[in-house]
Structure 1
Amino acid sequence: MTEAAELPEAPAVAREVFGERFPDAVRYAELLADAGVRRGLIGPREVPRLWERHLLNCAVLSEVIDEGVSVCDVGSGAGLPGIPLALVRPDLNITLLEPLLRRTTFLTEVVELLGLDHVTVVRGRAEEVLGKLPPVHVVTARAVAPLERLAGWGVPLLRPYGEMLALKGDTAEEEVKAASAALSKLGAVSTSVVQVGEGIVDPLSTVVRVEVGESPGGVRFATKKAKAARARRRR
């Protein structure tokens, strides 16, 4: 049996990023390194790089989110980027959307333990909650799916003039090009690749930013696709 990797001490910059919620960030990191690994939410090899690659990498997403807006973290998994974002931004109203029970159970435990009153955990897929949850200003996602597929899930959850922020890696530019037609159909008016976390993470965190306009055409498009998919499953 492989010995569990040890969680390293938090880097000094983490105290600056998380501020008064730094002890809660440490507790969350400990939960990921322990229960998160045991429940299969993260791989044991990720434990030594939890701070730089996961918590800080996600927390810096706050640099491109306006104050006081509503956020839906699609496919939240173990709470990345939703939980780090919640720790640094108490002004946000955050929904962690995740379809798997074992993950939503973990997320609920974390939210209650850390006293994140501005965070709600919802079990379900994006296409299932469409029309049931209020539209949000911002949709976030990390390591969920290629951009074209992710946009089909996330963009319909946005309110007019909202935006989707997807944490991506080196393939961000290529994904934007491959998804351009699908993004247009969904009502995207602007798509860009930005980097955040200067002086905090190295390499910088890469974010694909998809902004939508007033037109509800993308929402109708995604709803039709969701209905067609459900119809096929019933056959």
Structure 2
Amino acid sequence: MSGQQIPSGTPPTPEAARGAFPSERLALAERYVELLATAGVERGLIGPREAPRLWERHVFNCLALASVVPESATLADLGSGAGLPGLALAVARPDLRVTLVEPLLRRTTFLEEVVGELGLDGVEVVRARAEELHGSRLFDVVTARALAPLERLLGWAWPLVAPEGALLAMKGSSAAEEIASARTRLRTLRCPEPEVLELSTPDDASTATVVRVARGIRARLG
């Protein structure tokens, strides 16, 4: 967006963004943040108070996942909302094939507009609840950010995880407590033991606490 007027409310691009995104993708990331800060706020997908910290609190936080997503993976982002983490990862990682799963029309409309404007050919938007995809779709990685407690999330996500795939649930300080509360569901679904990962972007611009439940060895790489 160099040389262009930045709409009011759009946070300036921090220097860390230049290291977080490939140089040829930075303009896409800037436009995505601009859309979040304008249309995203206007449509109620992003709170007005969140707009000034979109880069640090949201985009960079989501990019911390990139280090544990395998090359050329298929990825489903459940309850994608405004596209976090799915769209942020798709912008940074063009090798990924990303499916944004979101049941609400106003959100899928926004997601489709962003995908179209940014020309993200490797991204599809599916208006559905996760349960509606059970039995028909499998993904190498299933992500969710602040969607539901782990116990409930497992029921939605685990049937979508491929044999060598993983669930990556973005959590905060409640991660260990949520794992403890999900013990019965973990046994019922025959899930492997979850891991709590403390991930960060390469330049430590942001960190994220992630619960990873991995079916196979490939999913544990990274």
- State the TM-score, normalized to the length of structure 2: 0.90
Between 1 and 2, higher relative CO (CA 8 Å, sep ≥ 6) is seen in 2
Distance 1:47 1:109 in 2: 19
- Counterpart secondary structure, 1:120: strand
The answer to whether residue 165 in structure 2 is matched with residue 162 in structure 1 is yes
Kept after mapping to 2: 8 A contact 1:5/1:45? no
The answer to whether residue 111 in structure 2 is matched with residue 107 in structure 1 is yes
CA shift for structure 1 position 5: 7.5
Instruction: Please list every run of at least 4 consecutive aligned residues from structure 1 whose deviation after the TM superposition is greater than 2 angstroms.
Output: 4-8, 198-202
The answer to whether residue 61 in structure 2 is matched with residue 57 in structure 1 is yes
Equivalent residue number for residue 36 of structure 2: 32
Q: What is the aligned counterpart of 2:125 among 99, 107, 121?
A: 121
Distance 1:184 1:66 in 2: 26
Relative to structure 2, which stretch is displaced further, 177-186 or 30-39?
177-186
CA shift for structure 1 position 200: 2.7
Q: Which has the higher helix share?
A: 1
- Counterpart secondary structure, 2:195: strand
Distance 1:61 1:113 in 2: 24
CA shift for structure 1 position 119: 0.5
Relative to structure 2, which stretch is displaced further, 46-55 or 9-18?
9-18
The answer to whether residue 67 in structure 2 is matched with residue 68 in structure 1 is no
- Counterpart secondary structure, 2:21: helix
User: Unaligned regions of 5+ residues in structure 1, if any?
Assistant: 214-235
The answer to whether residue 142 in structure 2 is matched with residue 139 in structure 1 is yes
Q: What is the aligned counterpart of 2:182 among 169, 179, 183?
A: 179
Kept after mapping to 2: 8 A contact 1:104/1:123? yes
Distance 1:181 1:161 in 2: 23
> What number of residue pairs does the alignment pair up?
208
% of aligned pairs identical?
A: 55
Kept after mapping to 1: 8 A contact 2:135/2:159? no
Equivalent residue number for residue 229 of structure 1: none
The answer to whether residue 209 in structure 2 is matched with residue 209 in structure 1 is no
CA shift for structure 1 position 131: 2.1
Letter in 1 for 2:106: R
CA shift for structure 1 position 7: 2.5
- Counterpart secondary structure, 1:195: strand
Distance 1:183 1:72 in 2: 20
- State the TM-score, normalized to the length of structure 1: 0.85
Q: Alpha carbon RMSD of aligned pairs, Å? A: 1.5
Distance 1:35 1:200 in 2: 29
Distance 2:59 2:102 in 1: 18
